Chain A
Amino acid sequence: MNNLRIRFVRGEEVKYISHLDLMKVFERAARRSNIPVAYSQGFNPHPNIVFGLPLSVGVTSEAEYADIELSERMEAEDFILKLNMSLPRGLYITEVAYRTTKSNIMAIISRADYSLVVAGTSKEGINSISLKINELMEKPEIIIKKESKSGARHVDIRPMIHRLEISTECKNVFLLDYIDSLLEGFTGGTKYTRQEINCLNTRLSAGSAANLKPELVVLALNQLSDVEIRLLKIHRTGLYVERDGRIYAPLEHNVL
């Protein structure tokens, strides 16, 4: 089978595209680049492309994944080159490999890493937030109210938070320009000082079995008294697969 797994970046320029529209972007880019994508059979054929984990509108990512089936095999390098020439600015493929395993990317994702740009307004600054994080992580359970279409329900999110730490320095290259703009002030936005800006790095459960949105982690932190953290930006830094208790990136040999 000619099943490709791709890793791609979704940058600032394209972060407001919905998941459904993103699928269309790839379909059209494939047509433009004459990449031989395989289509489903039937009355209304659609391209065999599966995305790892939908990204919310407004979120950027340096590690998105998709599985694409080709109707004929092509060199991985050639594929990257051709598709990248047909993708709009802000979207580009960074890695490709053929896979032989049966389960597609959507079925196997179980963890997601995020870098969250936050503004902490706690008087004590980062140390105070850091303490709150420790406090939060030591709790046996964290119950929050989750609103959904079917009504509100209480969920324990503690088991879904695998890592949470704060740093004053955001060294991620995908965030530098954004943070500079926050300091200069976006049009119609709040202006921040360097001291106010911090980064939360977190690893959360993701995928069909259990999925936690990073917004809820910030909500949980804020529910602990006297800390007030404003979530300014969500950036995904990785998606992972769990196999036999170990964590792998989707393009590692063991899971391809």
Chain B
Amino acid sequence: MSIRISDEILQSVEKPSRYTGNEWNSVQKNLDGIDIRFAFCFPDVYEVGMSHLGMKILYHLLNERKDVYCERVFAPWVDMEERMRRHDIPLFSLETKTPLKEFDIVGFTLQYEMSYTNIINMLDLGKVPIRAEDRSLSDPFVCAGGPCAYNPEPLSVIIDFFMLGEGEDIILEVMDAYGKWKKSGSSRESFLESIASIDGVYVPRCYDIQYNNNGIIKSIRPINAKYPERIRKRIVKVLDSAYFPDRIIVPFTDIVHDRIMLELFRGCTHGCRFCQAGFIYRPVRERTPGKLLELAGKLQQSTGYEEISLTSLSTSDFTGLKELTDGLIKEMEPRKVNLSLPSLRVDNFSLELMEKAQKVRKSGLTFAPEAGTQRLRDVINKGVTEEDLIASVSTAFSGGWNNVKLYFMLGLPSESMEDVEGIAILGCRVVDEYMKLPKEKRRKGLNVTISTSSFVPKPFTPFQWEAQDSIEVLKEKQVFLRSKIKSKHITYNWHDPELSFLESVFARGDRRVGEVLIRAWEKGCRFDSWGEHFKFDRWLQAFEECGVDPHFYANRKREFDEVLPWDHIDTGVSKKFLIKENEKAFRGETTQNCRMNCSGCGAAAFGGGVCVE
């Protein structure tokens, strides 16, 4: 069955091209030769989902196979959902407009916790039973992957199986297994059992969780000895030989990142202790400049895009940056293609590079000192000193920049009011640095923006045991910081701590919080990360009705020997190392980055990247 939405409906919703597909490089296939139909679902609107690199890679990778057809599904915006529910239109894929229910496998990518209610909503709109246990042979399998899958437990009532780590190899192995199973005609359970032994596949129903009376987990054990005790994430050892599409979909309408994304490397060598990405993507593995130039050329030709962006956790750390950017500028300038350079460390080299490569106004430069005092920056192992920052902004100001954004976190472990005040003081020093320049040398109209988010302790970081500051304390800190910022050149922005509080619950939640997600969705929660749709009071009701105390997950400090809900997941980084890092944090000791000195985190076991260079 194929859906053709009426013009009456499409004309009445915002941005109808979110729902029509047919974009350049989207894949059309004859259904006759297809054994496996895969729905790649992104639990947010089109413009957000289409900006996600992982989806682009896996979409084209799956479609390289003759026996698989991978299609895209996004969360309909609230206006469209209302019409779909009114007219009983099931959620459908963009390529063939097929209802979600008719797919063999439905896969979600988990990029942020506050998209979880959208997963439930999409399954419901697609007429797929929400709970894994309610699905039968005629229903699709529902799987998930992505960074939030490293703590899969909160979604384990919903998702049939998870794929941990980088998806390029594992997803093909799962497709092979599915093809075999489909031909065999055996039960749903037998498929899940057959993939539970694939490295990196986690099937929640194959594991049993026991709890102590105090609510803390007693044990996590496979229900049968044939399943692995721990599930280790998958990585691609050599990035140059990993699949990367030479064509990507070019959307009609503006999306968040409407450009070619060239992935320089995975992982990060810095080991900032709050940063989950810095630990779960280890070890650092780079592509070579030669390979990247080849990919850039192909992608530009196949898409016609006017902009290429370098993508990684920290562009400045790329060892071949100069060779790559020189090559890109030489090749792309005559084609009128711009280069965009996010997450660059600001120094003379990068400012020169930005001036050469980016035909944009000298508007914003972003710095992320994360904490206001050197003491606290040492605690979080953010290897940036005040001198570094001041030298950078000074270079930027004399280079003609006048708009500086400074990102900080409130609520970091061991933070005192002195540290909070340090943010304001640092902001003032940045302003002073601008004023030091002679008037004719600086660009008029200084604007310093200080933004604070609230710290969310994440699994697989040295701070995974820490208590999050309560909402009240976070608000106090925000008010205090506001009172300390006096300069008229500084604008202060802050995030609502309520959302960070829920993030904290679901980032470190166990199986028992799954029911809360479903209850909150029943109460109308969805698009929670979109301010206008966030309904905190309904979330609190949902916790209460399910008898789950959110503070148990967000605001409680754990002991090192406590069984954590994600202890059966193995990212390669050892718990021993994380404990060591935690202890060093509270002593204010820093850890060197991987290139300078290996600190033995455990990721060397993968035998790839920086660990073997």
Contacts and interface: CB of A to CB of B under 8 A. Distances in A.
A16 B10 contact: yes
Nearest to A47: B336
B306 A28 contact: yes
B449 interface: no
Contacts of A190: 6, 8
Interface stretch (A83-91, A135-143, A152-160, A244-252): A83-91
Interface string A18-48: 1001001101111110000001000111000
A188 B304 contact: no
B302 interface: yes
A43 B389 CA distance: 31
Contacts of B252: 14, 16-17, 21, 24-25, 88
B11 A188 contact: no
A29 B86 CA distance: 38
B219 interface: no
Interface in A148-196: 181, 186-190
Interface string B306-330: 1000000000000000000000000
Of B9, B22, B253, B301, the most chain A CB neighbours within 10 A belong to: B22
A190 B9 CA distance: 11
A186 B22 contact: no
Nearest to A181: B4
Contacts of B484: none
Contacts of B290: none
B433 interface: no
A21 B10 CA distance: 17
Interface residues of B, number: 34
A57 interface: yes
Contact of A89 (B6, B10, B22, B83): B22
B250 interface: yes
Interface in A52-91: 57-58, 86, 88-90
B23 A88 contact: yes
A189 B253 contact: no
A186 B336 contact: no
Interface residues of A, number: 32
B17 interface: yes
B304 A31 contact: yes
B89 interface: yes
Given A89-B22, A90-B22, A18 B8 contact: no
A13 interface: yes
A216 interface: no
Contacts of A13: 20, 22
Contacts of A27: 304, 306
B176 interface: no
Contacts of A16: 10, 16-17, 20, 252
B488 interface: no
B256 interface: no
B7 interface: yes
B304 A28 contact: yes
B242 interface: no
A189 B7 contact: yes
Interface in A86-120: 86, 88-90
A21 B254 contact: yes
Contacts of A29: 24, 304
A186 B7 contact: yes
A232 interface: yes
Nearest to B90: A187
Given A88-B23, A90-B22, A186 B303 contact: no
B3 interface: yes
A14 B22 contact: yes
B227 interface: no
B92 to A, nearest CB: 9
A44 B359 contact: yes
B335 interface: yes
Contacts of B226: none
Contacts of B7: 58, 186, 189, 232-233
Given A16-B16, A17-B252, A28-B250, A188 B359 contact: no
Given A13-B20, A188-B87, A31 B335 contact: yes
B78 interface: no
Interface in B1-59: 3-11, 16-17, 20, 22-24
Contact of B302 (A32, A57, A88, A189): A32
Nearest to B6: A189
Nearest to B97: A187
Of B5, B24, B335, the most chain A CB neighbours within 10 A belong to: B24
B306 A187 contact: no
Given A17-B253, A21-B254, A186-B5, A32 B10 contact: no
A28 B10 contact: no
A14 B252 CA distance: 9
Contact of A18 (B5, B10, B253, B300): B253
Nearest to B25: A88
B375 to A, nearest CB: 45
A186 B87 CA distance: 11
Nearest to B92: A187
B253 A187 contact: no
Contact of B11 (A17, A24, A32, A58): A58
B304 A86 contact: yes
Contacts of A89: 22
B284 to A, nearest CB: 34
Contact of A32 (B4, B9, B304): B304
Nearest to A188: B87
A241 to B, nearest CB: 29
A21 B8 contact: no
Given A16-B10, A28-B24, A187 B16 contact: no
A58 B10 contact: yes
Contacts of A21: 17, 252-254
Given A21-B253, A28-B303, A187 B89 contact: yes
B9 A188 contact: yes
A191 to B, nearest CB: 10
Contacts of A233: 7
Contacts of B17: 16-18, 21
A31 B299 CA distance: 12
A14 B10 CA distance: 13
Nearest to B338: A44
Contacts of B207: none
Contacts of A43: 359
A187 B4 contact: yes
A188 B10 CA distance: 10
A58 B16 CA distance: 9
B94 to A, nearest CB: 12
Interface in B70-100: 83-84, 86-87, 89
A197 B591 CA distance: 75
Contacts of A30: 304
A14 B253 CA distance: 11
A162 to B, nearest CB: 27
Contacts of B250: 28
A245 B301 CA distance: 47
A241 B5 CA distance: 36
B367 interface: no
10 contacts: A17-B17, A17-B253, A24-B252, A39-B336, A57-B16, A186-B4, A186-B8, A187-B6, A188-B84, A188-B89
Interface of B: 3-11, 16-17, 20, 22-24, 83-84, 86-87, 89, 250, 252-254, 300-306, 335-336, 359
Given A32-B304, A188-B9, A232-B7, 12 more contacts: A13-B20, A16-B10, A32-B302, A39-B336, A44-B359, A186-B5, A186-B6, A186-B8, A187-B3, A187-B6, A189-B7, A189-B8
The 6 closest A-B pairs by CB, nearest first: A189-B6, A28-B304, A186-B6, A188-B87, A31-B304, A32-B304
